[in-house]
Amino acid sequence: MLDLAHLHPMIVHFPLALTPLAVLLQVWILFSGESPLGRSCSAYTALGLMIVAGLSALAAAGLGDVALDIAVDKGFPDAKMEDHEDLGFTTAWLLFGLAALEAWLFWKNPTSRTPGVLVTLLGVGVMVLLLTTAWYGGNLVYGLGINVG
């Protein structure tokens, strides 16, 4: 039977993979002279990737809370996991908020490239926060052995 503590590391790889793809695609769109909020196939793809990343980040944060409870029940000190939990929830909500903002701006169909540049820069910032959160999580698993096995 699947251990609930293992769902978090499985789901968390979706935002970890999709967010950099979406941001890199947005950067590529900008360098090609278009807007990431335009009506190109690339812009639709970047938006779709960001939406799935935002939704999966919320799922990963919720499952991370479950994994933390399981780890505490197994005897791991929760103080070591608090930073990762706080970063995880902050990152998840920011990523979801960014996806919602991008969807709203996409729907508004701005004529200027400026909103596309701004959401791409915000995406880079959220991506850095996401990778920092992942680094803390990796230290919990590979450094302390939390919820391994």
Q: Are 130 and 95 in contact (CB under 8 A)?
A: yes
Q: Are 95 and 15 in contact (CB under 8 A)?
A: yes
The arithmetic mean of pLDDT across residues 56-84, rounded, is 92
Apex 13 CA angle, 39 and 30, nearest 5: 30
The arithmetic mean of pLDDT across residues 41-51, rounded, is 97
What DSSP character marks residue 54?
H
Cα separation of 95 and 100, whole Å?
9
| pLDDT of 2 strictly over 80 | no
The arithmetic mean of pLDDT across residues 84-104, rounded, is 97
pLDDT in the model for residue 79: 85
Half-sphere exposure (CA, 13 Å, Cβ side) for 85? 15
Cα separation of 136 and 143, whole Å?
10
pTM: 0.92
pLDDT confidence bin for 122, thresholds 50/70/90: very high
Task: Pick the range with the lowest mean pLDDT from 19-23, 83-87, 121-125, 143-147.
Answer: 143-147
Extract the tokens encoding 86.
């706080």
Q: Are 45 and 53 in contact (CB under 8 A)?
A: no
